[in-house]
């Protein structure tokens, strides 16, 4: 096909979806007439496909767009008047062609409402016109949230406690990214933390001065003499854990919750549930700096990455049952890892680095993983008796 209607339609849709039409509207400019150039048939193409070209030209004419022609001289067929480009003469013509009149009208109404309430939003919409287009139906809710935070910066309450007429607090939780875009545009910098860009892990709440659920550190005290008011299994916020100063000497960090719950009694020791990369929750607990720390994770690439992470803030950490002997003893119990990615790890010793590199190269088997819970407790007991 020379005059491919599908490709022409795609170009017009691309113009609309790029946001340029909306941007021009907001800036009081015009993109029109918008020209789409058409290929000119060669004499051979014209001679061999006259009937097809005639049908395609009639299809072009049916688009109800401005079609421009030019005369061409062909030796074998003489002068021919052929289309050379299409023109979309106006925004109205474009919207009618795409059946987007109502959608654009909704955008215009939302734009007027939003910029009347907060003139600074114009800059956001010019930069990201599709942000407004995609959220035109909830502009009233977004503006209500903006008004609340302007009147109540850094409110120091949970999202669930926000009382904003017409706004379900679940709306904020589901639309944090767009709410963030609006608030970061209209609020004074002193009323939010401009350094926070990551909204996950309570980043939104931290950025706008809201309360959030603090991460917990779960641990068991393994020596009855150290129980806290008779309690041995505790979960504390990171801040509360950081304020402890237990008179223990040994800290075991384990990957698996059941391992933590069933860990044997050890004098002057506690065991922490690391919960994967959640082991980072203890990094600010200064009282751990002079304790004997042991990390026991799965023998896989993630396990060594977590070990390296823990050592980055507790450099005295020793690995437990993550050595070549343990691997070779229980290699037949290994399974295949579902996810793995190689990283440069700075805090492994020579033996650990060797195992890590070998796993990256599938030396022990493809996607090797020896899970912590597959190691018998009797084997752990012997190791701990030597360690502690």
Task: Select from 139, 214, 125, 130 the least CA-distant residue to 175.
Answer: 139
Task: Select from 293, 219, 272, 260 the least CA-distant residue to 372.
Answer: 260
Contact 157, 166 (CB under 8 A): no
Residue 324 β-bridge partners: none
Phi, psi dihedrals of residue 73, rounded to the nearest 5°: -105, 115
Residue 93 CB-density burial (10 A; 0-12 exposed, 13-18 middle, 19+ buried)? middle
Phi, psi dihedrals of residue 85, rounded to the nearest 5°: -160, 155
* Confidence (pLDDT) at 46: 63
* Confidence (pLDDT) at 189: 94
* Confidence (pLDDT) at 291: 95
Phi, psi dihedrals of residue 236, rounded to the nearest 5°: -125, 155
* Confidence (pLDDT) at 233: 96
Contact 275, 295 (CB under 8 A): no
Reported for 245-251, long-range contacts at CB under 8 A and 24+ positions apart, including other chains, are 245/287, 246/221, 246/270, 246/287, 248/221, 248/223, 248/291, 249/291, 249/292, 249/388, 250/291, 250/292, 250/294, 250/387, 250/388, 251/288, 251/291, 251/292, 251/293, 251/294
The architecture of the domain spanning 216-387 is 3-Layer(aba) Sandwich (3.40)
* Confidence (pLDDT) at 248: 94
Which strands sit side by side in the sheet containing 250-254, from one edge to the other? Answer: 233-237, 216-221, 269-273, 250-254, 292-296, 318-319
Residue 255: which residues within 8 A CB-CB, separation 6 or more? Answer: 274, 275, 276, 296, 297, 298, 303, 306, 372
Phi, psi dihedrals of residue 19, rounded to the nearest 5°: 90, -5
Domain with CATH 3.40.1360.10 in the chain: 216-387
Tens digits of pLDDT across the chain (388 residues): 566 778 888 889 999 999 999 999 999 998 889 898 887 766 666 665 666 677 777 777 767 788 887 777 776 666 777 777 888 899 999 999 999 999 999 999 999 999 999 999 999 999 999 999 999 999 999 999 999 999 999 999 999 999 999 999 899 999 999 999 999 999 999 999 999 999 988 999 999 999 998 889 999 999 999 999 999 999 999 989 999 989 999 999 998 899 999 999 999 999 999 888 778 889 989 999 999 999 999 999 999 999 999 999 999 999 999 999 999 999 999 998 876 778 899 999 999 999 999 999 999 988 999 999 999 988 998 888 755 4
Residue 369 β-bridge partners: 335
């Amino acid at each position: 096909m020379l005059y491919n209607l599908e490709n022409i339609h795609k170009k017009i849709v691309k113009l609309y979806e790029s946001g340029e039409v909306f941007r021009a509207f907001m800036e009081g400019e015009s993109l029109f007439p918008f020209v789409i150039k058409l290929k000119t048939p060669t004499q051979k193409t014209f001679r061999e496909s006259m009937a097809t070209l005639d049908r395609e030209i009639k299809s072009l004419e049916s688009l109800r767009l401005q079609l421009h022609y030019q005369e061409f001289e062909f030796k074998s067929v003489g002068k021919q008047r052929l289309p050379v480009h299409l023109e979309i003469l106006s925004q109205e013509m474009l919207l009618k062609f795409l059946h987007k009149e109502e959608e654009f009208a909704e955008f215009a109404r939302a734009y007027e409402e939003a910029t009347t309430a907060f003139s600074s939003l114009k800059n956001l919409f010019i930069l990201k016109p599709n942000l407004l287009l995609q959220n035109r139906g909830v502009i009233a809710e977004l503006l209500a949230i903006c008004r609340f935070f302007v009147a109540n910066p850094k409110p120091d309450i949970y999202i669930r406690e926000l009382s904003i007429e017409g706004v379900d607090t679940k709306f904020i939780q589901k639309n944090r990214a767009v709410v963030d875009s609006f608030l970061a545009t209209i609020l004074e910098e002193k009323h939010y933390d401009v350094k926070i860009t990551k909204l996950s892990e309570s980043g939104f709440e931290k950025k706008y001065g809201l309360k959030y659920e603090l991460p917990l550190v779960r641990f068991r005290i393994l020596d009855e003499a150290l129980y806290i008011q008779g309690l041995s299994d505790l979960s504390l916020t990171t801040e509360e854990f950081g304020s402890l100063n237990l008179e223990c000497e040994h800290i075991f960090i384990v990957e698996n919750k059941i391992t933590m719950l069933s860990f044997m009694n050890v004098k002057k020791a506690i065991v922490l549930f690391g919960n994967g990369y959640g082991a980072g929750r203890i990094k600010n607990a200064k009282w751990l700096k002079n304790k004997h720390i042991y990390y026991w994770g799965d023998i896989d690439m993630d396990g060594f990455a977590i070990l390296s992470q823990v050592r980055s803030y507790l450099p005295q950490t020793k690995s437990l049952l993550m050595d070549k002997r343990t691997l070779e003893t229980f290699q037949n119990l290994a399974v295949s890892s579902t996810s793995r990615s190689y990283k440069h790890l700075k805090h492994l010793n020579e033996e650990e680095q060797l195992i890590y590199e070998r796993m990256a190269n599938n030396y022990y088997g493809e996607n090797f993983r020896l899970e912590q819970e597959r190691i018998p407790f009797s084997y752990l007991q012997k190791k701990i008796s030597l360690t502690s």
